[in-house]
Amino acid sequence: MRSPLLVVLPRLNLRFVTVLAVALLFSPSMARAQASDDDLQRQVIGAIRGYSNFTIFDDVSVAVSNRAVTLTGRVTMPFKRNDIAARVAKIDGVKDLVNGIEVLPVSIEDSRLRMRVAQAIYGNSTFWHYASMVNPPIHIVVERSRITLTGCVNSEVERMLAYALAQVDGALSVANELRLDKIR
């Protein structure tokens, strides 16, 4: 006759193995879900940067949570808002899309300010290497003569120099939202 302890042990082992298997089954899927949100965010950013009408005068941010994509920022023309959303919606794996991109008001003076700031920054020898990039990292958003610098630069010196160069005639204010990040 078998000992009661030997009969209980296999049941405990079976329960333990079952619990362990379930835990392992869900654990990698949670890690995959997080990684897939990160991968999806990289794909969305790539789609936006690859959009031929996306310029240094537009700024779009991306947030992804549980495969739901939220777009925020500002663009210079209404068709850009729609085109960017359409490009993102086509990406495999996008479960939901919230398009919070705003369209900047049309203004000749704002357009002139954009050009003056772009020339001041990208015409400076410190930023020539950025100007030669397919997607220059410093974005210049102008709304009602108020300038906002977004994007990223390699150093605090570049960040402060860009801010100083953006102080052009006609600007009511300049907000420096440039982040520090190593740009290749």
Tell me where in the chain the CATH 3.30.1340.30 domain(s) lie.
1-103, 108-180
Domain 1-103 has CATH 1.10.10.10: no
User: For the whole prediction, is pTM greater than 0.75?
Assistant: yes
Query: Which value, to the nearest 10 degrees, does the dihedral of the CA atoms of residues 107, 139, 118, 85 take?
Result: -50
Q: Specify the CATH number of the domain 108-180.
A: 3.30.1340.30
Confirm if 69 and 40 have CB atoms less than 8 A apart: yes
Q: What is the pLDDT along the chain (184 residues), one digit of tens a residue?
A: 555 544 444 554 555 545 444 454 555 444 444 458 899 999 999 999 999 999 999 999 999 999 999 999 999 999 999 999 999 999 999 999 999 999 999 999 999 999 999 999 999 999 999 999 999 999 999 999 999 999 999 999 999 999 999 999 999 999 999 999 877 6
Strand ordering across the sheet containing 68-75: 59-65, 68-75, 96-103
